[in-house]
Amino acid sequence: MRGNLFAVAVNLVVLTVRSHRLHVLLIERGEQPFLGAWALPGGFVQPDEDLVDTGSRLLREETGAETGDAVVGHLEQLASYADPTRDPRGRVLSVGYLALVPDLPEPTPGSDATASAWRPVDEVGPLAFDHDHLLADGVERARSKIEYTTLAASFCPPEFTVTELRRVYEAVWRSELDPRNFQRKVTSTDGFLVPTPTLVTGGRGRPPRLFRRGPATALHPPMLRESHRVSRNGDAPDGD
Amino acid sequence: MRGNLFAVAVNLVVLTVRSHRLHVLLIERGEQPFLGAWALPGGFVQPDEDLVDTGSRLLREETGAETGDAVVGHLEQLASYADPTRDPRGRVLSVGYLALVPDLPEPTPGSDATASAWRPVDEVGPLAFDHDHLLADGVERARSKIEYTTLAASFCPPEFTVTELRRVYEAVWRSELDPRNFQRKVTSTDGFLVPTPTLVTGGRGRPPRLFRRGPATALHPPMLRESHRVSRNGDAPDGD
DNA sequence: GCAATAGTGTCTTTTAGACACTATTTA
DNA sequence: TAAATAGTGTCTAAAAGACACTATTGC
């Protein structure tokens, strides 16, 4: 086996929806390199960890919540980044993971960070390392994946209303959806939403019903973004 | 930066369509570990290479053809695999790349292989390392990606007939498509196919027209697999 | 001529999108 | 009561799927 060894890190693109906007979890770096810069949370893979273990450990450390794949939220591998110049310390390969979580309480900064915060994804300035690229890939993955899966519900608490789910789509896609057609679409897609007996009172209008996630993971037919419906060709959703 | 270093390899899932079946390029290992076993072609990332450079270098070495992203065919990152026990030599992270190429001449074995061959993907026995997993992920990526992109044309030579393109879909999906509806669908999707003046003579029936790939990369609306159209929920195309 | 393959037209069914309308709450 | 939000029904347009039909070759 030839030499040329790498350090391997996992970096998280943790997305959530707060006040109708898509937010990402950032940390302010407390170490070199990029001391004081904002970055995606991350850490090195430990000797006996598989990549996904590192991802869930980091997610737990950064958000406090037990939001692995099993409970609420969603965690999946995005892609790996290994440009030889991406880290001034040497050869570091970073495996990006995408996490979709419900709106959580304020995060607590991890050990190597002086601060952490939720920031709207379209207001994020230049980040440390190649994290802008990672973030863009994560956001695009989320945008396209809620088209043909039920993953949008990962942004919601265990019980939620159809309107809450619609706000998720609208925030992630930055577009408005017709509430009536949306209602029909999601409630008639078998296995997407399971109604509970509970109605949410205290609001302004007719009390909405609470739903839980159903067993379905794929949406057929998919829910297409308007930008995808308008033109017939268009740009590439690149593969990596 | 904490220690715990990895060797980083790239492994290729090279797919093509030969005689109406989806094939993958395999090598017979000429070195330990897994000496004599069949495996996906691969190699280590060299000091100044980015991952995609390693991928295209390996693809060139194994297929002989210049089939990077630019020419014909397609190369994209799949996912990374780093189970601590996946390689008996120690900690090796493998970055999987998916390559879609036209039907090429017989491959020439690389340096660390005693043989290489195209094998139908559904007749591939247990492979070395975790390459069965990698292959399954690659095939599923190809199956789903030709639904909403024009990547199926990457399996074709620069000029091809509509029937050849349909054979690609049928081989990758293992299902039959209506030739007439398929024809209308692909020729009416803007930017997918560009007609040439050439008709292919010498065949049995009416001579078909040759087409080239157009500029479109995305298919809107997508071309859905029958399995996806039949039921409304169904199983998960998992994210990583 | 007939068989085979390429390609078009047309009808039916399904789905998306627009939007009128009903239902149930708070103020 | 009016205003607000939830949810249903219905019409239209677009697309998928079935399949009759025409076009052009080799035999």
Output the DSSP codes for chain A: -----EEEEEEEEEEEEETTEEEEEEEEE-SSSSTT-EE--EEEPPTT--HHHHHHHHHHHHH-S--SSSSSSEEEEEEEE--TTS-TTS-EEEEEEEEE----SPP---TTEEEEEEEEGGG----STTHHHHHHHHHHHHHHHHHHBSGGGGGS-SSB-HHHHHHHHHHHHTS---HHHHHHHHHHSTTTEEEEEEE--SSSSSPPEEEEE-S--B-SS----HHHHH-SS-------
Chain B residues lying within 8 Å of A45, measured CB to CB: 4, 6, 82
Chain B residues lying within 8 Å of A89, measured CB to CB: 1
Q: Whole-number mean pLDDT of chain B? A: 89
Rounded mean pLDDT, A31-42? 95
Contact B154, B73 (CB under 8 A): yes
**pLDDT for position B63:** 87
Going by pLDDT thresholds of 50, 70 and 90, the confidence category of residue A109 is low
CB contact under 8 A, A220 and B232: yes
Share of chain B above pLDDT 70, in %: 87
Q: Which of A90-94, B47-51, B72-76, B118-122 has the lowest mean pLDDT?
A: B72-76
Min Cα distance B189 → chain A (Å) is 7
Contact A175, A225 (CB under 8 A): yes
**pLDDT for position B18:** 94
Per-residue pLDDT tens over the stretch B156-196: 999 999 999 999 999 999 999 999 999 999 999 999 999 99
Going by pLDDT thresholds of 50, 70 and 90, the confidence category of residue A104 is confident
| Distance separating alpha carbons of residues A114 and A30, to the nearest angstrom | 5
Going by pLDDT thresholds of 50, 70 and 90, the confidence category of residue B209 is very high
Q: Which of B4, B50, B145 sits opposite A47 (nearest CB)?
A: B4
Residue tagged 């030739």 (tokens): B179
Chain A residues 192-211 within 7 Å (CB) of strand C? 199, 201-207
**pLDDT for position B111:** 63
CB contact under 8 A, A228 and B237: no
**pLDDT exceeds cutoff 90 at A42:** yes
Contact B47, B39 (CB under 8 A): no
Share of chain B above pLDDT 90, in %: 78
| Distance separating alpha carbons of residues A75 and A228, to the nearest angstrom | 26
Q: Which amino acid is at B196?
A: T
**pLDDT exceeds cutoff 90 at B113:** no
| Closest residue, chain B, to A45 (C-alpha) | B4
CB contact under 8 A, B224 and A221: yes
Residue A191 zone, left/alpha/beta (φ > 0; ψ -120 to 50; rest): left
**pLDDT for position B162:** 98
Going by pLDDT thresholds of 50, 70 and 90, the confidence category of residue B234 is very low
CA nearest neighbour of B186 among B164, B155, B157: B164
A208 CA from C16 C1′ (Å): 24
| Distance separating alpha carbons of residues A146 and B216, to the nearest angstrom | 22
Going by pLDDT thresholds of 50, 70 and 90, the confidence category of residue A149 is very high
Output the DSSP codes for B158-190: SSB-HHHHHHHHHHHHTS---HHHHHHHHHHST
| Integer-rounded Cα radius of gyration of chain A | 19
Q: Is the peptide bond prior to B126 cis by the omega test (within 30 degrees of 0)?
A: no
Contact A207, A199 (CB under 8 A): yes
Q: Which of B89, B233, B240 sits opposite A76 (nearest CB)?
A: B240
Question: Strand C positions with any atom < 7 Å from protein CB?
Answer: 3-10, 15-21, 23-27
**pLDDT for position B143:** 97
Q: Please return the burial class of A209, using the count of CB atoms within 10 Å of its CB with bins 0-12, 13-18 and 19+.
A: middle
A159 CA from D3 C1′ (Å): 27
Residue with more model confidence, A154 or A236:
A154
B204 CA from C3 C1′ (Å): 9
Chain A residues lying within 8 Å of B216, measured CB to CB: 232-234
Q: How many beta-carbon contacts under 8 Å exist across A and B?
A: 171
**pLDDT for position A57:** 94
Angle at the Cα of B51 from the Cα atoms of B153 and B1, rounded to 5 degrees: 150
Min Cα distance B124 → chain A (Å) is 25
**pLDDT exceeds cutoff 60 at A240:** no
| Closest residue, chain B, to A44 (C-alpha) | B2
Q: Give the count of beta carbons closer than 10 Å to the beta carbon of residue B231.
A: 13
Chain B residues 208-237 within 7 Å (CB) of strand C? 208-209
Min Cα distance A61 → chain B (Å) is 18
Per-residue pLDDT tens over the stretch A82-100: 999 999 999 999 999 999 9
Chain B residues lying within 8 Å of A221, measured CB to CB: 224, 229
Q: CA dist B42 to A77, B109, B140, Å?
A: 21, 12, 20
| Integer-rounded Cα radius of gyration of chain B | 19
Residue tagged 């690149």 (tokens): A238
Q: Which of B58-62, B130-134, B209-213 has the lowest mean pLDDT?
A: B58-62
**pLDDT for position B2:** 58
Going by pLDDT thresholds of 50, 70 and 90, the confidence category of residue A125 is confident
Q: Which of A44, A91, A234 sits opposite B218 (nearest CB)?
A: A234
| Closest residue, chain A, to B224 (C-alpha) | A221
Contact B37, B50 (CB under 8 A): no
The upper half-sphere exposure of residue A104, i.e. CA atoms within 13 Å in the direction of its Cβ, equals 26
The upper half-sphere exposure of residue A107, i.e. CA atoms within 13 Å in the direction of its Cβ, equals 30
At B106 the three-state DSSP class reads coil
